[in-house]
Amino acid sequence: MVRGWARLERLVSAAQNGRIAQCQLPKRKRKVLPRVAGARFCSTEQTLHPTIRPVNAVERTTLTEYGQYIAECMPKYVQKVQITAGNELEVLIAPEGVIPVLTFLKDHTNGQYTCLTDLCGVDMPSRAFRFEVVYNLLSVRFNSRIRVKTYTDELTPVDSACEVYAGANWYEREVWDMYGVFFANHPDLRRILTDYGFEGHPFRKDFPLSGYVEVRYDDEAKRVVVEPLELAQEFRKFDLNAPWEQFPKFRDHVPAEDIPIKEEKE
């Protein structure tokens, strides 16, 4: 047994180092191949593939047709459908369509997006409705993902998705804590990350990087105290954009491809 394992390891090592073109192993030894630590097995045909996954034309066509189908089913709420990053379907909806659209995507036979994988916020102060609320959904039945986006401002509430996805509870609490987006009909909308009595919302673009207060331990009072912030040095601005940026292509935004949809007739 020991001699057989030694021969198996020598063959695997030779395949990894390129000394042999393929692994010639007995059939009775092939079932134990996964047990060899760090083993890489070469097939009879040498296959090469790029490290960047190419765009699947069939998948892209399917997503385009499904996006148009969603827009046709709910023209009252769907304002725009687009494909980003090659194969990611995004549906942009009006704020009053959060519950109807999420319910449709979850319960419809052709969707079955029963899993809310993530819910987050985005702040863009240059817009009239500066906040975006993003819902990332997963359909286990069809192995498909979809992203739903809506918009709001500092004062207009968004309907809570908790009645459709129970897992949205803490996600919405985080968006409320970080951005100040209010979710109507939320069962327990309170801060989740910041401390009691915290003022402001840290992920807003107009929130100062250093904050408003600092927390320190006071030796005289023998407790932690919260005081107004005192900067030890004057404000300095750093230009972090360097010509030797390691990942420059990720700085360039690839424009999304809009999917043509039929506009609702008034």
Q: Each residue's pLDDT tens digit in the chain (266 positions)?
A: 556 666 666 766 665 565 554 445 555 544 544 444 444 444 445 566 656 677 888 888 999 999 999 999 999 999 999 998 888 999 999 999 999 999 999 999 999 999 999 999 999 999 999 999 999 999 999 999 999 999 999 999 999 999 999 999 999 999 999 999 999 999 999 999 998 888 899 999 989 888 888 888 999 989 988 888 876 666 666 665 555 555 554 455 567 788 888 776 65
Both 122 and 15 in a single domain? no
Both 68 and 170 in a single domain? yes
d(CA 71, CA 101): 10
Domain count, the chain: 2
Q: Quickly count helices (H) and strands (E) in the chain.
A: 5, 10
Task: State both tokens at 227.
Answer: 């005081």
Find the domain containing 71 and state its range: 57-193+253-259
Q: Does residue 211 lie in a domain region?
A: no
- What pLDDT score was predicted for residue 19? 56
- Rounded to two decimals, the pTM is 0.71
User: Domain of 166: which CATH number?
Assistant: 3.30.460.80
Three-state DSSP at 8 gives helix
d(CA 138, CA 146): 7
Both 31 and 61 in a single domain? no
Both 86 and 27 in a single domain? no
d(CA 161, CA 95): 12
- What pLDDT score was predicted for residue 82? 94
Three-state DSSP at 28 gives helix
Measured CA to CA in angstroms, residue 21 lies from 5, 121, 241 at distances of 20, 52, 46
Phi, psi (5° rounding) for residue 26? Answer: -65, 150
d(CA 184, CA 181): 10
- What pLDDT score was predicted for residue 257? 81
Both 84 and 9 in a single domain? no
- What pLDDT score was predicted for residue 120? 96
Largest CA distance in the chain: 81
Both 21 and 128 in a single domain? no
Both 139 and 183 in a single domain? yes
- What pLDDT score was predicted for residue 67? 94
Both 69 and 163 in a single domain? yes
Neighbouring CB atoms inside 10 A of 192's CB total: 16
* Cα–Cα nearest to 43, from 33, 53, 56: 33
Phi, psi (5° rounding) for residue 245? Answer: -55, 130
Both 24 and 130 in a single domain? no
Q: Does residue 230 lie in a domain region?
A: no
